[in-house]
Amino acid sequence: MSRLPLNSLAYALLQAARIDAAVFAGQSLADGLLGRVDPVARPAVQDLVYGSLRAYGRGDFMLSRLLERPLAVDEIRALLLVALYRIETRPEAVHTVVDQAVFAAGELLGGKFRGLVNGVLRNFLRQQDALVAAVAADPVAAAQHPDWWLAQLQAAYPADWQCIVAAGNQPPPMGLRVNLRQTTRDAYLVRLQAVGIEARPVGEAGLALARPVVVEALPDFAQGAVSVQDPGAQRAAELLAPSAGSRVLDACAAPGGKTAHLLERGEMDLLALDLKAARCRRVEENLARLQLQAEVRVADCAQLAGWWDGRPFDAVLADVPCTASGVVRRNPDAKWLRREADIASFAAAQARILDALWQVLRPGGKLLYATCSVFPAENGGQIARFIERQPQARPCDEEQLLPTAEHDGFFYCLLEKRA
């Protein structure tokens, strides 16, 4: 139990360091690490966690030059990285950050590293100009991405890789999807303007906010008038576009954003699957808030015997597990948890899912393959290999969205099953 005040910077630094250390040990932010933080301090801690992980390549580079030898204590190393991030992003308060980081160090291991934390951070202030110059001269540190990740991007997008990297190092934009069963996009835009929230239309039901806001500030969010969803993710329902009354499968549904968007566009018989019960509960909660209905089941979509009743589907959404390389600014831990070999592992799993789901699609039906990746092996390469195995698959539409200031990175390929 920490003795630090919940509203203090020291408490936020301490909790952020503990979460970063857990990530360095192999845990994912998706495992609910932020849920362990007191709600009062959670926004401040989240800002430090996400910011320091996005900037990890830069911070680790500088820390390696500030320490005589690598630190054996992960939480102290993480505290230094979080403090360096805070110092660089809040230069007007550097001495406060140093002092608060020392207080935070006092809560770890009996406080025996307080002197080290104080010395390293003050040494950073003395050497800051030289260290920043050294970062700029080092391609990997400057890009704040692993070297293998950069190599993948450079090979696939020689003209765009730097823009992709720059987008991945920025906080993500906030997009909304208006529930067209309850209101129109233009009417909701007027409601946002009335409460001082600036936005502009994107896609058929989307709004891009000029600045992120808490969901409690969104008019009738609790009543289901609107959902938070990236405009790029909204392309899934727009591309699959099942006709009214269709039998539809969302094979990897959690947390339910794409499921809900499909249902908001029209009446259909929709089955949503996901591997874990907790994730299926999230789908059900989202549907309940939006006043929508679907059958939600815990199942492995690739194991047909466990869930399929033999009735074919008119449309299938296969939003498959992937490296999440297109949404890394929302999942900054992924840059450091992923390994290059994971691309092939995900691609193999994606192929199994595609081959299984192709069997449940009726002749003449359509399957939308979707990832939030920018790596070709999971996207265009995956589709090319699938068509070699399934010659009756006809590509109808394909989109590779690269991350921009407006949307994240996604890949979509709409496939029709020839009769």
Strands 295-298 and 226-228: unpaired
**3-state percent breakdown (helix, strand, coil) of the chain, nearest 5:** 50, 15, 35
322 close to 343: Cβ distance less than 8 angstroms: no
CA–CA–CA angle 35, 38, 42 (5° rounding): 70
How many whole angstroms separate alpha carbon 113 and alpha carbon 125? 19
How many whole angstroms separate alpha carbon 136 and alpha carbon 404? 23
How many whole angstroms separate alpha carbon 298 and alpha carbon 9? 42
Catalytic one of 301, 372, 396, 413: 372
Is 252 a residue of the active site? no
How many whole angstroms separate alpha carbon 136 and alpha carbon 22? 28
- Residue 401 is encoded by which pair of tokens? 């969205």
In single-letter form, the type of residue at position 324 comes to A
How many whole angstroms separate alpha carbon 306 and alpha carbon 183? 38
How many whole angstroms separate alpha carbon 269 and alpha carbon 272? 10
- Residue 419 is encoded by which pair of tokens? 């009769």
Question: Residues with catalytic annotation?
Answer: 372
